[in-house]
A and B are shown apart, each in its own frame.
Chain A
């Protein structure tokens, strides 16, 4: 599958290629078309943000890219790259401490114990949670849990990071800081990121490109390049200006849907 590390040598083309992908849940009368011929590609090292209303199939699309689910039709490829998925909910293992959670992907890929300890320390440091390694998820705040989840996703040493509204439940201040952390990691590790959000300004703040998905069925309806300089502020005039444009475009789409 797309996560097979054995294919690493054959990395080719786009980091993510989604070609005419559809996904239907159920069949017959109750069938639900979650995604309808979605095409999208993410270049190596590119940061793409995906925006769409609730229920338009964003999470579904990420599971397809991560190989957790198979598309009903169409093709997906990550060109042999490893993917890591950060879920909408932190999805940490409640019986493990923060450090053990971060360590799990390393165990799964057979990293020796001594090296694991070192890597976990680095990753916890990266999300500024070194002091909280021995806490269990329920002892951490929501923001801290998301940071542990981020560290755990990074522990998978993937080239492609799929993030599903990772900061949706955080307060504005923590979120701004995590944007900076994420941007730093993305740049240093030259990751390719597909980042789902329904907050338009967050998409403009982070993305090289912002892709709009329509609702029921999900379909790509527009795309905006973001070419102004990083780091961008969530509240800078440029960010807000483009966000307004994108929102207008979304509104148009909703109005058209109404007819």
Chain B
């Protein structure tokens, strides 16, 4: 095919494009300035929480058991210097990753099947939503009876809580698949596998990632609930630490572990938000009105 370039309208179109062009983007703010802008409300919230805590402490409420921020943070600081806490964090994170990976595979397979097969959609779709409403702790006795006090039992709880959310994300994405894009794909000759790969998968990706984020949050709940109950000798975990602190009525220790769990949860959440934000920006669904 020869290069076909209509000369007349070309120049004029190029001129119009110059006019149509969006105004030049604002100079990108420095990364430090951006980080600070994102961080200061969170820091403020943290300071506020510490102040309220300190006030409660000063008021003398349950003063025999409730330690102040200073005592607790010192306790945390000491614990952070012990290999034991890090080994516990390692164990818990390892379980979280393995459990989440299993949930990812199972949730994706189930979600894909349910969203593609109509009769399954009606039967299993609402069941999955129902599963999602179950508090994670209800799976703990079930898992212990089934697998005993083992890592498998803990992983089972994680999978049962995370997989439904992941499957649901995929199903929601398929439900809101724009029919126009499907038709566009079909007119250009995309069929079955190629249609799935080039249209259905990318179009459902934002909803899928939202499901992953939710699945992680649920799985994390389930994991800690499981660890507090299922105590495996010689395998310290964050849940075991919490459970020990409970037995010894060590409130400073318990709060320290809660803070660690909170920190891990926030860190992973930030990671998901990063991925989510990037995808949304690529898909052009990001809300840029703030900038």
Assess whether A136 is in contact with B284, with CB atoms less than 8 Å apart: yes
B220 to chain A, nearest CB (A): 29
Q: Is A252 an interface residue (CB 8 A)?
A: no
Q: Which A residues are in CB contact (< 8 Å) with B6?
A: 126, 180-181, 184-185
A248 to chain B, nearest CB (A): 32
Assess whether B188 is in contact with A105, with CB atoms less than 8 Å apart: yes
Q: Which B residues are in CB contact (< 8 Å) with A138?
A: 284
Q: Which B residues are in CB contact (< 8 Å) with A173?
A: 12, 16
Assess whether B5 is in contact with A125, with CB atoms less than 8 Å apart: yes
A103 to chain B, nearest CB (A): 10
Q: Which B residues are in CB contact (< 8 Å) with A180?
A: 6, 8-9
Assess whether A87 is in contact with B183, with CB atoms less than 8 Å apart: yes
Assess whether A122 is in contact with B1, with CB atoms less than 8 Å apart: yes
Give chain B interface residues in 1-40, CB to chain A under 8 Å: 1, 3-6, 8-10, 12-14, 16-17, 20-22
Tally of A-B Cβ pairs under 8 angstroms = 108
A87 to B183, CA, bound (A): 9
Q: Is B105 an interface residue (CB 8 A)?
A: no
**What number of B residues sit within 8 Å (CB to CB) of A?**
36
Q: Which B residues are in CB contact (< 8 Å) with A152?
A: 188
Q: Is A188 an interface residue (CB 8 A)?
A: yes
Knowing A87-B183, A108-B188, A108-B190 are in contact, say whether A177-B16 is a contact too (CB < 8 A): yes
Which of the 9-residue segments B131-139, B197-205, B231-239, B257-265 touches chain A? B197-205
Assess whether B184 is in contact with A87, with CB atoms less than 8 Å apart: yes
Q: Which A residues are in CB contact (< 8 Å) with B20?
A: 141, 143-144
B38-71: CB near A (< 8 Å → 1, else 0) gives 0000000000000000000000000000000000
Q: Which B residues are in CB contact (< 8 Å) with A188?
A: 4
Which single residue of chain B is at the shortest CB-CB distance from A138? Answer: B284
Q: Is A238 an interface residue (CB 8 A)?
A: no
Assess whether A91 is in contact with B184, with CB atoms less than 8 Å apart: yes
Which single residue of chain B is at the shortest CB-CB distance from A95? Answer: B202
Q: Which of A125, A143, A177, A188 is packed against the most chain B CB atoms within 10 Å?
A: A177
Give chain A interface residues in 165-215, CB to chain B under 8 Å: 173-174, 177-178, 180-181, 184-185, 188-189
A164 to chain B, nearest CB (A): 11
B187 to chain A, nearest CB (A): 5
Q: Which B residues are in CB contact (< 8 Å) with A41?
A: none
A94-106: CB near B (< 8 Å → 1, else 0) gives 1110000000110
Which single residue of chain A is at the shortest CB-CB distance from B284? Answer: A138
Assess whether A139 is in contact with B22, with CB atoms less than 8 Å apart: yes
Assess whether B17 is in contact with A181, with CB atoms less than 8 Å apart: no
Assess whether A104 is in contact with B188, with CB atoms less than 8 Å apart: yes
A149 to chain B, nearest CB (A): 9
A185 to B3, CA, bound (A): 11
A259 to chain B, nearest CB (A): 38
Assess whether B183 is in contact with A91, with CB atoms less than 8 Å apart: yes
Q: Is B282 an interface residue (CB 8 A)?
A: yes
Give chain A interface residues in 36-68, CB to chain B under 8 Å: 63, 66, 68
A106-119: CB near B (< 8 Å → 1, else 0) gives 01110000000001
Assess whether B9 is in contact with A177, with CB atoms less than 8 Å apart: yes
Q: Which A residues are in CB contact (< 8 Å) with B282?
A: 95, 136
Give chain B interface residues in 184-215, CB to chain A under 8 Å: 184-190, 194, 198-199, 202-203, 205
A169 to chain B, nearest CB (A): 13
A83 to B21, CA, bound (A): 33
Q: Which of A95, A107, A155 is packed against the most chain B CB atoms within 10 Å?
A: A95
Which single residue of chain A is at the shortest CB-CB distance from B189? Answer: A108
Q: Is B180 an interface residue (CB 8 A)?
A: yes
Knowing A89-B180, A177-B9 are in contact, say whether A95-B16 is a contact too (CB < 8 A): no
Q: Could you list 15 further interchain pairs (A-B, Cβ under 8 angstroms) beyond the known A3-B187, A107-B194, A180-B6? A: A87-B183, A93-B202, A94-B284, A94-B285, A104-B188, A108-B190, A125-B5, A128-B14, A136-B284, A138-B284, A141-B17, A141-B22, A177-B9, A184-B4, A185-B4
B residues neighboring A (CB under 8 Å) = 1, 3-6, 8-10, 12-14, 16-17, 20-22, 180-181, 183-190, 194, 198-199, 202-203, 205, 282-285
